[in-house]
Homo-oligomer: A and B are copies of this chain.
Amino acid sequence: MTIRLDETHDAKRQSWVASANGHTDFPIQNLPLGVFSVRGDTPRGGVAIGDEVFDLKAACDAKLFSGDAEKAARAAYASTLNELMALGAGPRATLRKQLSALLAADTSESSRAQPLAAKLLHKVTDCTLHLPAKIGAFTDFFAGITHAENGGKRRGSNPPLNENYRYVPVAYHSRASTVRPTGVAVRRPYGQRLAGNDKLPTFGPCLKMDFELEFGVWVGNGNAWGEPIPINKAGEHIYGYCMLNDWSARDIQRWESAPLGPFLSKNFGTTISPWMVTPEALAPFRIAQPARPQGDPKPLDYLWDNTDQREGALDLDIEVLIHTEGMRAKSMPPQRISVSNTRHLYWTVAQMVAHHTCGGCNLEPGDIFGSGTISGPTPENYGSIAELSFDGTRDIPLASGEIRRWVEDGDDIILRAHGRRDGYAAIGFGDCCARMVAGKGV
Contact = CB atoms under 8 A, between A and B. Distances in A.
A214 interface: no
Contacts of A256: 164, 168, 170
A189 B360 contact: yes
A261 B358 contact: no
Contacts of A155: 259
A430 B358 CA distance: 32
A264 interface: yes
A301 B203 contact: yes
A398 interface: no
A190 B252 CA distance: 34
A191 interface: yes
A99 to B, nearest CB: 31
Contact of A201 (B151, B167, B252, B354): B167
A420 interface: no
A53 to B, nearest CB: 26
Nearest to A301: B203
A359 B172 contact: no
Contact of A171 (B178, B263, B269): B263
B359 A189 contact: yes
A409 to B, nearest CB: 14
B228 A190 contact: yes
B267 A359 contact: yes
A240 to B, nearest CB: 20
A261 B203 contact: no
A425 B360 CA distance: 42
Interface residues of A, number: 70
A231 B231 CA distance: 46
B442 A263 contact: no
Is chain A's binding surface mostly helix, strand, loop or mixed? loop
Question: Which of A187, A190, A267, A297 is most buried by chain B, counting CB atoms within 10 A of its CB?
Answer: A267
A136 interface: yes
Interface string A399-442: 00000000000000000000000000000000000000001111
Contacts of A249: 359
The quantity of this chain's copies bound in the complex is 2
Contacts of A202: 300
Task: Point out which of A155, A171, A256, A297 has the most chain B C-beta atoms below 10 A from its C-beta.
Answer: A256
A50 interface: no
A264 B203 contact: no
A16 to B, nearest CB: 41
Interface string A357-372: 0111111100000000
Given A300-B201, A302-B442, A264 B226 contact: no
A281 to B, nearest CB: 28
Contacts of A302: 203, 441-442
Given A164-B201, A167-B201, A260-B261, 19 more contacts: A152-B259, A163-B258, A164-B192, A164-B258, A168-B255, A170-B259, A172-B261, A173-B173, A177-B364, A178-B225, A189-B359, A203-B301, A203-B358, A228-B440, A249-B359, A264-B356, A264-B361, A268-B361, A354-B442
25 contacts: A136-B176, A137-B176, A137-B177, A142-B260, A162-B259, A164-B201, A168-B192, A170-B256, A171-B263, A172-B260, A173-B263, A173-B267, A177-B364, A178-B362, A187-B226, A189-B358, A190-B228, A190-B359, A201-B300, A202-B300, A231-B442, A259-B261, A264-B358, A302-B441, A358-B442
Interface of A: 136-137, 142, 151-152, 155, 162-164, 167-168, 170-178, 180, 187, 189-192, 200-203, 206, 225-228, 230-231, 249, 252, 255-264, 267-269, 297, 300-302, 354-356, 358-364, 439-442
10 tightest Cβ-Cβ pairs between the two chains A and B: A261-B261, A189-B359, A173-B173, A172-B260, A162-B258, A260-B261, A187-B226, A268-B359, A264-B359, A302-B442
